[in-house]
Amino acid sequence: MRICLSCGKPAGTAPSYHPECLAALFETERLPVVDIDLAELDQLALATVGRAALPGAQPKLSADLDVERCTLQVAAGGGHYLLKPQAGTFPHLPENEWLTQRLAAQVGLEISPCALVSLRDGSLAYVVRRFDRPVGGGKLAMEDFCQLAELPPGSKYDGTAERCGKLLRRHASEPLVELLKLFRQFVFNWWVGNGDLHLKNLALLRRPDGRIALSPAFDQLNTRLVLPDDPLAMPIDGKRDNLGPGSWARLAQNFGIGPKAATRVLREVAAALPGALRLVDAAPLPAELREAYAALLRERAPVGG
Ligand SMILES: [Zn+2]
């Protein structure tokens, strides 16, 4: 099956993007030429994301669209897109991140428009629209949870799920709505084996209507595909592994979420399994990585136990 490399849904024959998906990402139904070559990227100063152990650093760069030439190119800074090419140390991180972000959308988490695109050399890169740069121009104020906790960036792993809940309660315009979203995000990240959800990978965004709310989910990937026993970066209920129903019940209670609402979230994530397995199966990853991803999703699907 051919899938759209933006939304992940069936796309018939080539080209493998829905025009409406391209429009949502690039504001044009034409796929821009990505005027970047993996070999040239070494010469650019690349910001890196993730922890040193994981991605021998997963590189990312700022990119912008030249509308007239319909070309996506490296921006000196302040571009409207982030582009993450293949990393030398661990293969297939861009495909892994794209797949994980699409799975997040399937369980009802908000994500920014994204896609896999081919660079000039044919390698796949992950491209995502920056959610703090709205279409109409300008910049939305954003603070990550490390900043909210008044910690230096180097302390991004000094968090717990419960501490994040506390920060959200203090700073969000509608704390109860946001705490339920955050609970869903923690359940999801456990399900997909993301061991790199730390304080800088959660953020509050001032929305165009002035509300201060969680940002769309970002930087999510299945780290267990590259580090098989990778534990959670931030403990939940004091645990970094082997989470069961009791831990989710206690986290919900800590967040002030009623048992019924918590159960609904757990059931919705579990119910996403069949669709998630179809997407994993169709994803542009080698068979052994697709199988490993699917096995984890099956194993953890009854996230509530
Ligand atoms: Zn699509």
Q: What is the pLDDT of residue 57?
A: 57
Express each pLDDT in 270-303 by its tens digit: 999 999 999 999 999 999 999 999 999 999 987 6
Nearest-Å Rg of the Cα atoms of the chain is 19
Q: Rounded to the nearest whole angstrom, what is the distance from the C-alpha of residue 6 to the centroid of ligand 1?
A: 5
Q: Rounded to the nearest whole angstrom, what is the distance from the C-alpha of residue 10 to the centroid of ligand 1?
A: 8
What residues form DSSP beta bridges with 62?
A: 82
Q: What is the pLDDT of residue 39?
A: 77
Pick the CATH number of 142-300 from 1.20.1290.10, 1.10.287.3510, 1.10.1070.20, 1.10.150.120: 1.10.1070.20
Lookup: tokens for 6: 């933006």
Q: Rounded to the nearest whole angstrom, what is the distance from the C-alpha of residue 70 to the centroid of ligand 1?
A: 19
Q: Rounded to the nearest whole angstrom, what is the distance from the C-alpha of residue 114 to the centroid of ligand 1?
A: 10
Region 13-33: what's the mean pLDDT? Answer: 89
CB 72 within 8 A of CB 117: yes
In the chain, DSSP assigns E strands to 33-34, 47-49, 58-66, 71-74, 81-84, 114-118, 124-129, 142-144, 203-206, 212-214
- Is the link from the previous residue into 15 a cis peptide, with omega within 30 of 0? yes
Q: Rounded to the nearest whole angstrom, what is the distance from the C-alpha of residue 269 to the centroid of ligand 1?
A: 22
Single-letter amino acid code for the residue at 30: R
Continuous H helices in 107-160: 145-148
Q: Rounded to the nearest whole angstrom, what is the distance from the C-alpha of residue 131 to the centroid of ligand 1?
A: 19
Q: What is the pLDDT of residue 123?
A: 93
Express each pLDDT in 86-119 by its tens digit: 987 788 999 999 999 999 999 999 999 999 999 9
The overall average pLDDT reported for the chain is: 91
- Calculate the alpha carbon distances from 276 to 72, 266, 296 in Å: 30, 15, 11
Q: What is the pLDDT of residue 205?
A: 98
Q: What's the rounded Cα separation, in Å, for the pair 110 and 78?
A: 23
CB 284 within 8 A of CB 117: no
- Calculate the alpha carbon distances from 75 to 5, 82, 145, 175 in Å: 23, 10, 27, 36
Q: Rounded to the nearest whole angstrom, what is the distance from the C-alpha of residue 228 to the centroid of ligand 1?
A: 31
Q: Rounded to the nearest whole angstrom, what is the distance from the C-alpha of residue 28 to the centroid of ligand 1?
A: 14
Express each pLDDT in 152-187 by its tens digit: 989 999 999 999 999 999 999 999 999 999 999 999
Distance of CA 183 to the CA centre of its chain: 15
Q: Rounded to the nearest whole angstrom, what is the distance from the C-alpha of residue 25 to the centroid of ligand 1?
A: 10
Q: What's the rounded Cα separation, in Å, for the pair 132 and 87?
A: 25
Query: Where do the domains of the chain lie?
Result: 19-129, 142-300
Q: Rounded to the nearest whole angstrom, what is the distance from the C-alpha of residue 129 to the centroid of ligand 1?
A: 15
Lookup: tokens for 214: 């969680």
Q: Rounded to the nearest whole angstrom, what is the distance from the C-alpha of residue 163 to the centroid of ligand 1?
A: 37
Express each pLDDT in 206-238 by its tens digit: 999 999 999 999 999 999 999 989 999 999 999
Q: What is the pLDDT of residue 42?
A: 62
Lookup: tokens for 256: 């002030």
Lookup: tokens for 82: 């982030």
Q: Rounded to the nearest whole angstrom, what is the distance from the C-alpha of residue 116 to the centroid of ligand 1?
A: 11
Q: Rounded to the nearest whole angstrom, what is the distance from the C-alpha of residue 134 to the centroid of ligand 1?
A: 21
User: Quick one: residue 33, left, alpha or beta (phi over 0 = left, psi -120 to 50 = alpha)?
Assistant: beta
Q: Rounded to the nearest whole angstrom, what is the distance from the C-alpha of residue 147 to the centroid of ligand 1?
A: 35
Q: Rounded to the nearest whole angstrom, what is the distance from the C-alpha of residue 154 to the centroid of ligand 1?
A: 37
